[in-house]
Structure 1
Amino acid sequence: MSSISTPTSPPTSPMPPTDPAPALENDNETPKDWMELALSKAEDSLRAGEVPVGCLFIYKNEVIATGNNTVNETKNATRHAEINCIDNVMKFCEKNNLNYQDVFRELDVVVTVEPCVMCAAALHELEIRSIVYGCPNDRFGGCGSVFDVSSLYKYKVDVTSGINAERAMKLLKEFYQGANPNVPLEKMNKKRKKNKKEAGIIKEPVQSPVVS
Structure 2
Amino acid sequence: MSEKYDSFYSELTLDLLRHPKKISEVPITCVFVHPTETPAKSDVLCVGWNLTNACRDATRHAELVAVDRYTTGGACSDDVAIFEGAGVGKGKGKEDEHEDEDEEEDEEDRAMMKRRGKAEDLKGSTCYVTIEPCIQCAFALRKIGVKRVVFGARNERFGGCGSLIDCSRAEFCKDGREGYEVDFVEDSNAVDVLRGFYGRENMSAPESKRRKKGEREG
Picking from 139, 144, 150, the partner of 1:121 is 139
Q: Does 1:70 align with 2:51?
A: yes
Separation of aligned partners in 1, 2:116 and 2:152: 33
Paired with 1:113 and 1:184, the residues of 2 have a C-alpha distance of: 26
Q: Following TM superposition, by how much is the alpha carbon of 1:89 offset from its aligned partner in structure 2, in angstroms?
A: 2.5
- The amino acid of 2:128's aligned partner reads V
State the match for 2:76 in structure 1: none
**CA 1:99–1:49 in structure 2 vs 1: closer, same or farther (change >3 Å)?**
closer
Determine if the alignment matches structure 1 residue 84 to structure 2 residue 59: no
Specify whether residues 186 and 57 from structure 1 end up closer, same or farther in structure 2 by C-alpha distance, changes over 3 A only.
Answer: same
Distance apart, 1:40 and its partner CA = 1.8
Contact 1:51 1:172 in 2 (8 A): no
Q: 1:170 aligns with which of 175, 192, 198?
A: 192
Higher-Rg structure is: 1
* 2:100 is the alignment partner of 1:100: no
Could you tell me which residue of structure 2 aligns to residue 21 of structure 1?
A: none
Q: In the alignment, is the contact (CA less than 8 A) between 2:70 and 2:116 conserved in 1?
A: no
**One of 158, 162, 166 as aligned partner of 1:148:** 166
Q: Could you tell me which runs of 5 or more consecutive residues in structure 2 were left unpaired when the two chains were aligned.
A: 37-42, 74-113
SS at match of 2:130: strand
What is residue 7 of structure 2 aligned with on the other side? 32
User: What residue is the counterpart of 2:86 in the other structure?
Assistant: none
Q: Does the CA contact (< 8 Å) of 1:56 and 1:65 recur in 2?
A: yes
Task: Tell me which of the two structures has the higher relative contact order, counting C-alpha pairs closer than 8 angstroms and 6 or more residues apart.
Answer: 1
**1:191-202 pair list within 5 angstroms:** 191-192=211-212, 195=215, 199=218
What is the Cα deviation at residue 38 of structure 1?
Answer: 0.4
- Structure 1 position 144, deviation (Å): 0.6
| Structure-2 change in CA distance of 1:192 and 1:40 (3 Å) | same
* CA distance in structure 1 between the aligned counterparts of 2:17 and 2:115, rounded to whole angstroms: 28
RMSD: 2.8
What is the rounded CA distance, in whole Å, between the counterparts of 2:192 and 2:115 in structure 1? 38
Task: Report percent identity of matched pairs.
Answer: 30
| Letter in structure 2 aligned against 1:109 | C
Matched AA of 1:128: V
CA distance in 2, matches of 1:179, 1:98: 37
